[in-house]
Structure 1
Amino acid sequence: RAVDLDLPPYLLDLWTNPATPEVSANAIIEPMIDGIALAGEWDGAAIYDATSIDGGDLDINKFYLGYDSNNVHVRVDLANATPAEIDTWDDKNVDLSIYFMQSNAINFNEVETNFRTYYGNEILGFPAKYMVSFDFSELRDDGRAKWNLFEAKGKVGEKEKWNLIATSNLGACAAKDVYEFSIPWSEIGLAPRYTTRIKVLTSFYESTTYGDGQDQEMAPPAPAEIVLPDLEEWITLLDIDDAIGDDDRNGAIQMPLATDFASDGSLWDIQHLKISQSSWNARFEVEVDDITNIWGMSNGFSHQILQIYVDQGNTGSGKTAMLEGANAVVADDWAWEVALSATGEPGAVKAVMAESGETISKGIEVSANSDTDTITLTVNKDVIGQDVATYRYIIVLGSQDGFGDGKWRGIDGSAKTWRLGGGADPASDDGIEYDPNILDMMTPEGVDQNAMLADYSATTHKFAVLTGIEIPELEQQIFGATVVGATASSAIIAFQTTQATSSTVSCGQNTAVGDNTTSHTVTVNGLTTATNYSCIISVPGIDNISIEVQTSAVEDTTLPEILNVIVLVSEDGVASINWYTSEAATEAIVLTKGNEEINIDGSQIATSKNHFLSSNKALSRGQWTVSITAVDASGNSNTSHSEFSVEETTAVTPDESEEKAESTNSGNIFVDTKVQIMFLVVVLLTTLAMLRGRRSDII
């Protein structure tokens, strides 16, 4: 203040521990986003009590924070501000927003993040990257609404800037008794094992201008924190051996003279490579002859530098020059779009993008296991690209030197204390080292690695030209096997295969056959109560795998409840039916009107509580009955009947009937939407879903 300057963000607040939830998250959840708190729907979510702060008319009682394999789910309970109550406040504009921290941040030193709330400009306590705002102007009478997603861009002039980057589909949030949100991980920069911090904020505002409002409550006082679980299922793309003892250029390489390099084997001889992918990441597991960590580096290894050059196959793009210190180039037809570099020092782990030259450190994890002598590099697909199985890779290994060019240890003509020997000294005329510092690399069978690395010349200023490996067609694999549920007499087992195939699952003497597909869910019946089984999963052509199952000691006789049936009829007469069951159950509906009958079967395996089926064709005008049958894993069955009406339909083109994705330039204040009118019927009640006036969007 003495120099009339604002405090920098990292001095605005202290980095604190996260809030402790009243109940910790302990399971995947699948809430029905309808604004109604159904029994058991949020079991498994973390619960944060917010009653210690009085938020006035927008007081937050508590909020719930949970996840499934693709989404973060948030529920906010306001004490006195349901949509019906807010409708009576003619002179007040309400905002409900959720702020998300830059993923994996450990302090305030994060670029293009914001540190204050939008309307009241209060300190958040973390570097916020995303803000998800409930769009009250899109709230329908059935409770469905949209949320708007804003991305922080940091301080511009005197204000922090937020850009509108996405608007959800209708129904991604909802409000009736409570406010519910479902937000894809990818929209807010999350992936398995990532962490973020969260605050929920209620505000009144005069206009959507930055700072033109008053915050009512920020909950919890310390940020909530969520660590996403490791839900990844890995598919092996390549699993191959490398030639042994090929890291010394036919005996020419000499070890550095320092005793730090003493080893029971070769520190730089690649023995094996495994490449895998999940929905989010690519993983490279490189086994070498020996790994030590004599210098105590955080990533678990001291002597290796691993680099992976990714050729995405884009014609006319990419670079051929390798990163600093490698002292080699890649062939023109192997030009790389992304280069990954990893050492035992976290600060030296990075990705380099060829097109922009940008260096990225987020989304890359490196570790080593000295017991298996394996370095594991995991990189997010947002960094490496989505089509990992179709790319080509040049994978090289050398000696790590914290003071060397690009972290590579040089190979001189003769060995020195900290330098390898057996290479060539720099060229006498330009002082450049043309001898590659690469000691081993992955090559296809029949390719002479030593000849490739030796094809350089300090005299003619020629670098060695490298090529790499390609991934062959994916072989059949079983992966992701899990026990979805077990009753006293049955087990539901899910797994995936890389190619479509039939399957069988055997638990003792009981066997079930699965469909010809890549995503398998099989129910095995006739099991004995309170018994452990090693169930065998079999598909043609590959080895079986087993999974352990224990049946319940208590027989389930409780019928599954069918809750909150919602029928939506579009303008062209297609009916969509949503419902929730108190436990995982099968899906089957019958639509009847007079002599007309339509049978629709969904999943016949009891794996989900949240259900959706469609008539898939226009229904005739008149009064219809929908009968829903739910069967749980124990065979308990329940049926519910509801009525709805179909009004006179109007044929529309696909473009007229589809929900449009919204987009905007960062400078726009208003977002234009195409509004569609649908008929809503909820159990004997026919209601026209009315649109509300839309407020301006924030930037």
Structure 2
Amino acid sequence: KSERYSELMKKKNRGEDFTEQDILDLKVLWNLYWINIEYIKADEELTALLNKDRGYSFDDLLYVINKQLEIMGTVIEKHKKLWESGKVELITSPFYHPILPILIEKGWKDDALGQIQRGLEYFQQLFGRKPQGLWPSEQAVDNELVPMLKDSGINWIVTDKSILQMAGVDTGNYKNIMKPYRVTNGNSDLIVFFRDTDLSDRIGFKYSTMSAESAVEDFISRLHELQHLNDSGKAVITIALDGENAWEHYPNNGNDFRKLLYMTLSNDVNLELLTPSQYISKYGVEDTLNYLPTGSWVGGSLDTWIGEKEENEAWNRVAAAREAFLKVKDSLLPDQVKLALDALYTAEGSDWFWWYGLDQDAGNNEVLFDMAFKKALIQLYRAIGTPEEDIPSYLFVVNKKPAISTSGAIGVIKPKIDGIIEENEWDKAAYYKDTEISSMAAEDDLIAGFHIGRDAANIYLAVELKRDPRTLIGEPLYLEVYTDLPGAEKINTTPRYPFKDEKDSFGFVLAKRFLVSFKSWKIRPGRLSNYNALGDGKWSVDPEFSSIENSAAIEEVVEIKIPLDALGVKTGQEFNLAVSISNSKEKVLLDYAPKSGPVHVQIPQAVTGKVVATFQDPKGDDYGFGSYKYPLNTAFEPYKGLWDIEWLKILENEQAVIFQLKFGEMTNPWNAPKGFSHQLINLYIDVKDGGRTDTYAEGARVSFSSEYPWDYFIKIAGWPSYGQLFATADGEEIPDVLQVEADPGEKIINVIVSKTALGSFNQMALYVLSGSQDGYGPDNFRAVTPEPTEWTLGGYPLDAGDFAPFVLDIIVPEGVTQEEVLSSYDKNSEKFAT
């Protein structure tokens, strides 16, 4: 670890400026620590620089950079020799790493094929021959790829076992995973290996927390367990994972683990190491599939790259630029076509869409990703000769991450629009305090903060000003509410009046503008004016809702009611919102909030059904068996209720069974796409004979009654990529049968399960577990330690070993207490709580 790097981080967090020496040290350390420690130890100069830790020179930086280039310069030749010797098999991927099924679904087959061919051509330039295999980006596949890849000379690919499940193969029977399949589509066929997701993920996510010896022993033991299924002698386990992401989390860059793993595998007489092509050549492929379902290795779906509002907008931007290119393509010179295709294919890469939306978080790099993506599209427009003034202005707007509310969530309220905040009237609303540092003069800094809530038909705001709003009546001031709009055809990139500081931005494109005029208030009190963007920076009165009477009030605060119909928003949709004050005489926007980013408003999808059962749970019991305490970080405020189930209702309609859970508190400090950051829900369902009494995966540290073994497992968290799982007791994970709809304002999570997944049943036994969501915890459960820390719960018994539960709240039948159940573990007999 570097003391200097830690010092610089603390200095940054204090908001202090870096000196030139600070920046130089940061550059050297950052680049130095990305070099594998074994290369550093093998180089005296790098070792000396590592030990030096500070006070670097520009020559030191040049040495580190040149060393990186030297190491990278050996990669191709080393791998070429390994391939020629048969030690490895090299493959490629589509050139700019696009999600091919999305391109195909959009009708862009030429682009998909172009990306594949570019990848193959570049590979051949480097290695002198084409590969037999191809790695589909993010293991995303569909049936149309079979002829496309076969015609390109590809013999085999690898994807996730969830795709095999969707093809109708029982992956609960492990033998079905332990072989490749020949997939046919018309006259074309392609060999597909389906990875062992469990073993692959152990390397990717689990073993970094273990010693190299324990991790390798665990891996080899699992292979030996599976050996008894190898009746034919042809069984193959396919390990496939991101090769670059795991090792930064391992001790010693994973060097110890990898060396020991390779040595142990090589020396094990019961195991044979083969490349895919070697396996095909030696053992052949007997099993066939007539269809390759659409999906990826992220939960079996493509949801990570498409579907969220920001992701869909980005795809629309690509589609518009692509259409502009195709219209003029035949008139372009070859060099222009090449430049345009380079830019288009770049913009189709998967990582832009990975980071867009709320399901993934690039931290401080999100703005850089956003502008790099938009720069590629700008380059495309320029390549085809588009005049600068005709390049879409939205490509010059920087997306901002949604602001985090100061308190509360956008819940259901019914305020009286009178400009006075009555007691409890706005309690279920979210509040955004304008505490951001601003470059504006003090007299222009008018907004103190605002409340925002909703009901079935309206959005409500109560805007607090730093001056008495009544004293501003008659002045040339507008209080404005700007929003975007799902599917808006015309958008503006700037508000009606420009920001005083041209670097300011709401952080989203603008479709709607609602206005309360202080100047004309005495003439038209209560009026809320409604404008639509024209797309050229101008605004026009909405022809249907030009003015909304009795929808605003100016007294102690400014209260506003905006009908959802006037917004053009329906249930289940989402939009961004910001509040501003402008001076119409000076024609300038004086103040706005929030400054960190827009308010992200989600209108919950209506959930309906007949209530068939209701279960109450004691309030304030999210403490496990009685002693567990909240982590210390402020993200866990208000330090109560976040995992506290208050009641469960089971509803039923024609299509689904709905599990509706009410929590004591629900906040979203990490902007989870489903609207809740903290809750981790595990539901175990028993509806038929047989089943399991252990948990689906290690994490909760509990077991279940042998009288009611479970048949189905449901896992819910605010991130669908890992928190929207339906699985059988056999280990089959079934996609597309589960939906999650949350109402953070009402603190309710609806788990909607298709009846096709549960099958027919007369009665149900249900286990309901609540834990603290941790993206890095075992099965996403947050750890409990003896004392609470910033990121762990406290109160773990010192004498419990690894057997006390990580579960914080459960629903129990009458006559039993949660404390009794969760304290029934026994370290001596190595027994979890039952």
TM-score range, shorter chain: 0.3 to 0.5
Q: Which has the higher contact order (CA 8 A, sep 6+)?
A: 1
TM-score under structure 2 normalisation?
A: 0.31
Higher helix proportion (structure 1 or 2): 2
TM-score under structure 1 normalisation?
A: 0.36
